[in-house]
């Protein structure tokens, strides 16, 4: 007879399965509260918002999501092409509905894709969930299929490694030796794997077919001036009917980390305008 699982030594006890989606309240404002859902990018995690909380607008009742494409789950998610509609699952997980969605990088594009497809079907997820506004942080966007040249794949792979390295470097704590930092970023990229990265790249390739003209919810597009995709954020803000652009100097793909106070001010101004 096999021993019960609880009797097994820790070294051989089966690991608990990872929960694909974790949504929890992270910050509660003290003024007019707007339930705000914060969505991180590929191979990241909800801690990407941590530097924001000391400066967060008082009006935010902030909920953070650890998504299936976070760092400790991304390998499994990347290979599950028939998975659930995670954007709907995120919105459903916030009690009482969502007033504002703040999405970074891959999640910003996933949100756009979700809204575009719904609009094409004649649906309005923003009305259904009570969403008053969205904030797209460092999104990717190209207007024409011809903007994706043959060398784009190799270039985007290099950019993903650089973005990953940037994200690790910006974590609070002691500085990391550059060579160790580079190797850590490579490990994260390898964990995401080609399947996970291709999930992102396929979504990016579809951006020329986004129905931006049908996404009429008030939108703030935030980009760092040093982000390699900053011009794409500018083009997206121009193509969305109710969007405004916020560009922050001295930062790249993670403006909420590098310029947390200024990012918070932009977010606060947008929220107060809703």
- The predicted structure's pLDDT at residue 30: 62
- pTM for the structure as a whole: 0.91
Residues 163-196: tens digit of each pLDDT:
999 999 998 878 899 999 999 999 999 999 999 9
pLDDT at 14 over 60: no
Instruction: State yes or no: pLDDT of 16 exceeds 60.
Output: no
Task: Give the pLDDT score at 32.
Answer: 64
**Spatial CA neighbour of 238 closest among 224, 223, 257:** 223
Taking 50 as the threshold, does the pLDDT of residue 2 lie above it? no
pLDDT at 235 over 60: yes
Report pLDDT digits (tens) over 36-60. Answer: 999 999 999 999 999 999 998 888 8
Give residue 12's pLDDT.
Answer: 47
Quickly state the pLDDT bin for 6 (edges 50, 70, 90).
Answer: very low
For residue 28, the model assigns a pLDDT of 83
């Amino acid at each position: 007879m096999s021993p019960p699982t609880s009797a097994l030594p820790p070294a051989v006890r089966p690991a608990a399965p990872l929960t694909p989606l974790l949504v929890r309240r992270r910050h509660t404002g003290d003024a007019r509260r707007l339930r705000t859902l914060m969505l991180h990018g590929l191979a990241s995690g909800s801690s990407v918002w941590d530097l924001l909380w000391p400066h967060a607008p008082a009006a935010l009742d902030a909920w953070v999501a650890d998504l299936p494409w976070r760092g400790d789950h991304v390998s499994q998610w990347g290979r599950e092409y028939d998975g659930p509609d995670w954007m709907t699952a995120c919105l459903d997980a916030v009690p009482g509905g969502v007033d504002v969605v703040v999405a970074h990088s891959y999640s910003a594009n996933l949100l756009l894709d979700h809204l575009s497809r719904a609009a094409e079907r004649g649906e309005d997820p923003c009305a259904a969930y009570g969403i008053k506004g969205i904030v797209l942080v460092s999104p990717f966007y190209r207007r024409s299929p011809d903007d994706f040249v043959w060398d784009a794949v190799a270039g985007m792979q290099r950019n993903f490694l650089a973005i990953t390295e940037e994200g690790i470097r910006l974590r609070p704590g002691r500085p990391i030796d550059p060579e160790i930092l580079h190797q850590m970023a490579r490990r994260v990229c390898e964990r995401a794997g080609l399947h996970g990265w291709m999930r992102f790249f396929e979504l990016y390739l579809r951006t020329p077919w986004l129905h931006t003209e049908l996404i009429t919810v008030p939108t703030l597009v935030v980009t760092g001036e040093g982000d390699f995709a900053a011009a794409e954020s500018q083009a997206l803000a121009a193509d969305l009917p109710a969007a405004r652009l916020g560009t922050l100097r001295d930062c790249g793909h993670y403006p909420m980390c590098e310029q947390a106070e200024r990012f918070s001010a932009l977010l606060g101004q947008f929220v107060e305008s809703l």
